Structure 1
Amino acid sequence: MRHLFILLISASVLISCKNKAITKTESDVYYTCSMDPQVVEQKPGKCPICKMDLTPVKKSNGDKKDEIQLSDQQIQLGNIQTDTIRNGTIGDQLVLTASLNFDQMKTSSVSSRVMGRVEKLYFKNIGDYVSKGAALYAIYSEDLNNAKQEYLLALEQKKTFATETAIDFEQLLQSAKNKLLLWGVSESQINELARTKKASPTTTFYSTASGYITSMDIREGDYAMEGGTIVKMADLSTLWAEAQVYTSQLAAIDLNSTATVQLPDIDGKEIKGRIEFVNPEINPDTRINLIRVSIPNTGNELKPGMSAYVVLKSRQRQSLTLPIDAVIRDGKGATVWIRTSGQSFKSKMVQVGLESDDRIEIKSGLTAGDVVVISGAYLLHSEYVFKKGADPMSGHNH
Structure 2
Amino acid sequence: MLIVLIALVGFGVYYFVSNSNEHGTHSHNEEIYTCSMHPQIIKHEPGKCPICGMDLIQKVTEDQPVDSNAIAALLQPANGFVVGDFETTTVKDTVIASTVNLPGTVTYNPNSSVNVAARISGRIEKMYVHRKFQRVTKGQKLFDLYSPELQTEQQNFIYLIANDAQNATIIKAVKQKLLLYGMSTSQVNALATAKKLNPVVSIYSPANGIVDGTENSDSQNQTRQQTSATEVLRLKEGDYVTKGAVVFKLVNTEKVWAVFNVIQGYNSLVKINQSIQIKSELDANEVVNAKVNFVETQLDPKEKTNRIRVYLDNEKLKYPIGLRLEGSMETNPQKGLWLQKESLVSLGNKKVVFVKKGEGFQAIKITTGLEINGFLQVLDGVVVGDRLAQNAQYLIDSGSFIKTK
Q: Tell me by how many angstroms 1:255 deviates.
A: 7.2
Query: Where does the alignment leave 5 or more consecutive residues of structure 1 unmatched?
Result: 1-64, 71-79, 163-168
Judging changes above 3 Å, is the alpha-carbon distance between structure 1 residues 318 and 274 closer, same or farther for their aligned structure 2 residues?
Answer: same
Q: Higher helix share goes to which structure?
A: 1
Q: Tell me by how many angstroms 1:179 deviates.
A: 2.1
Pairing partner for 1:360 from 367, 371, 376:
376
Q: Aligned residue for 1:211?
A: 209
**Aligned ranges 1:53-64 → 2 under 5 Å:** none
- The CA distance in 2 between the partners of 1:238 and 1:294, in whole Å, is 11
- The CA distance in 2 between the partners of 1:250 and 1:324, in whole Å, is 17
Q: Aligned residue for 1:293?
A: 309
What SS class does the counterpart of residue 318 from structure 1 fall into? strand
CA contact (8 A) 1:99 1:243 kept: yes
- The CA distance in 1 between the partners of 2:282 and 2:130, in whole Å, is 29
- The CA distance in 2 between the partners of 1:290 and 1:333, in whole Å, is 25
Q: Aligned residue for 2:137?
A: 131
Pairing partner for 1:378 from 368, 393, 396:
393
- The CA distance in 2 between the partners of 1:94 and 1:103, in whole Å, is 23
**What does the per-residue CA deviation read over 1:298-327, in whole Å, with 9 as the maximum and x for residues that have no partner?**
233434445567889863222343331132
Task: Name which of structure 1's ranges 325-334 and 82-91 shifts more when overlaid on structure 2.
Answer: 82-91
Judging changes above 3 Å, is the alpha-carbon distance between structure 1 residues 270 and 320 closer, same or farther for their aligned structure 2 residues?
Answer: farther
Pairing partner for 1:202 from 164, 188, 200:
200
**Aligned ranges 1:116-195 → 2 under 5 Å:** 116-159=122-165, 162=166, 169-194=167-192
**Aligned ranges 1:177-326 → 2 under 5 Å:** 177-194=175-192, 197-200=195-198, 202-215=200-213, 216-240=233-257, 249=264, 252-253=267-268, 256-257=271-272, 258=274, 265-266=281-282, 273-275=292-294, 277-279=296-298, 291=307, 293-296=309-312, 298=314, 299-306=316-323, 315-326=332-343
Q: Tell me by how many angstroms 1:211 deviates.
A: 1.8
**What does the per-residue CA deviation read over 1:320-374, in whole Å, with 9 as the maximum and x for residues that have no partner?**
433311323435543156699xxx7755745533112422123462426x77654
User: Normalising by the residue count of structure 1, what TM-score does the alignment of the two structures yield?
Assistant: 0.57
Judging changes above 3 Å, is the alpha-carbon distance between structure 1 residues 361 and 197 closer, same or farther for their aligned structure 2 residues?
Answer: same
Amino acid corresponding to residue 204 of structure 2 in structure 1: Y
Q: Tell me by how many angstroms 1:89 deviates.
A: 1.6
Q: Aligned residue for 1:77?
A: none
CA contact (8 A) 2:123 2:146 kept: yes
- The CA distance in 2 between the partners of 1:276 and 1:83, in whole Å, is 36
- The CA distance in 2 between the partners of 1:110 and 1:176, in whole Å, is 23
- The CA distance in 2 between the partners of 1:69 and 1:193, in whole Å, is 101
CA contact (8 A) 1:214 1:232 kept: yes
Q: Aligned residue for 1:48?
A: none
Amino acid corresponding to residue 174 of structure 2 in structure 1: A
Sequence identity (%): 19
**What does the per-residue CA deviation read over 1:131-183, in whole Å, with 9 as the maximum and x for residues that have no partner?**
33333222233332332232233233344xx3xxxxxx112202311321231
Q: Tell me by how many angstroms 1:222 deviates.
A: 3.8
What SS class does the counterpart of residue 174 from structure 1 fall into? helix
- The CA distance in 1 between the partners of 2:90 and 2:270, in whole Å, is 36
What SS class does the counterpart of residue 139 from structure 2 fall into? coil
- The CA distance in 2 between the partners of 1:208 and 1:279, in whole Å, is 35
- The CA distance in 2 between the partners of 1:243 and 1:88, in whole Å, is 26
CA contact (8 A) 2:101 2:326 kept: no
**What does the per-residue CA deviation read over 1:19-64, in whole Å, with 9 as the maximum and x for residues that have no partner?**
xxxxxxxxxxxxxxxxxxxxxxxxxxxxxxxxxxxxxxxxxxxxxx
Q: Tell me by how many angstroms 1:237 deviates.
A: 3.2
**What does the per-residue CA deviation read over 1:282-313, in whole Å, with 9 as the maximum and x for residues that have no partner?**
86xx6968756354252334344455678898
**What does the per-residue CA deviation read over 1:237-275, in whole Å, with 9 as the maximum and x for residues that have no partner?**
3445667889xx379556745596977753568775443
Judging changes above 3 Å, is the alpha-carbon distance between structure 1 residues 152 and 361 closer, same or farther for their aligned structure 2 residues?
Answer: same
Q: Aligned residue for 2:108?
A: 102
Q: Aligned residue for 2:74?
A: none
Q: Aligned residue for 1:88?
A: 95
CA contact (8 A) 1:98 1:244 kept: yes
Q: Tell me by how many angstroms 1:209 deviates.
A: 3.6
Judging changes above 3 Å, is the alpha-carbon distance between structure 1 residues 305 and 256 closer, same or farther for their aligned structure 2 residues?
Answer: same
Judging changes above 3 Å, is the alpha-carbon distance between structure 1 residues 204 and 275 closer, same or farther for their aligned structure 2 residues?
Answer: same
What SS class does the counterpart of residue 218 from structure 1 fall into? coil
